[in-house]
Structure 1
Amino acid sequence: MKTIENIEQELVEEFSEFEDLFDKFGYLIDLGKNLKPLDVSLKTDNCMIKGCQAHVWLYSELKDGKIIFYADANADYAKGLVAMLIHVLSGHTPDEIIKAPLNFIERIGFKSMLSMKRAGGLESMIKQMKLDAVVYKAKD
Structure 2
Amino acid sequence: MTIKETQLEVLDEMSMFDESIEKMEYLIDMGRTLPKIDDKYKTDEYQIKGCQSDLWLNAELIDGKIVFTASAAAMIPRGIIAVLIRVYSNQKPEDILNDDTNAFIKAAGLNDFFQMTRSNGLEMMIRQIKLYALALETKIKN
Q: TM-score, normalised by structure 1?
A: 0.95
Matched pairs, number? 139
Residues 89, 97 of structure 1: 8 Å contact kept: yes
2:133 corresponds to which letter in structure 1? A
Residues 11, 104 of structure 1: 8 Å contact kept: no
Task: Note the residue ranges of structure 1 that are not aligned, 5 or more in a row.
Answer: none
Q: Would you say 1:130 and 2:130 are equivalent positions?
A: yes
Measured after TM superposition, the shift of residue 105 of structure 1 is 1.7
Task: Note the residue ranges of structure 2 that are not aligned, 5 or more in a row.
Answer: none
Measured after TM superposition, the shift of residue 25 of structure 1 is 0.6
**Cα RMSD (Å):** 1.1
Q: TM-score, normalised by structure 2?
A: 0.93
Percent of aligned positions with the same letter in both sequences? 41
Instruction: State the match for 1:105 in structure 2.
Output: 105
Measured after TM superposition, the shift of residue 46 of structure 1 is 0.4
Measured after TM superposition, the shift of residue 41 of structure 1 is 1.3
Residues 55, 71 of structure 2: 8 Å contact kept: yes
Q: Structure 1, residues 98-126: CA drift from partner, whole Å, max 9, x if none?
A: 01112222112222342123321011001
Measured after TM superposition, the shift of residue 36 of structure 1 is 3.0
Residues 111, 122 of structure 2: 8 Å contact kept: no
Q: Structure 1, residues 9-65: CA drift from partner, whole Å, max 9, x if none?
A: 111110010000011011001100121322211101000000101010000100010
Q: Distance in 1 between matches of 2:110 and 2:85?
A: 16
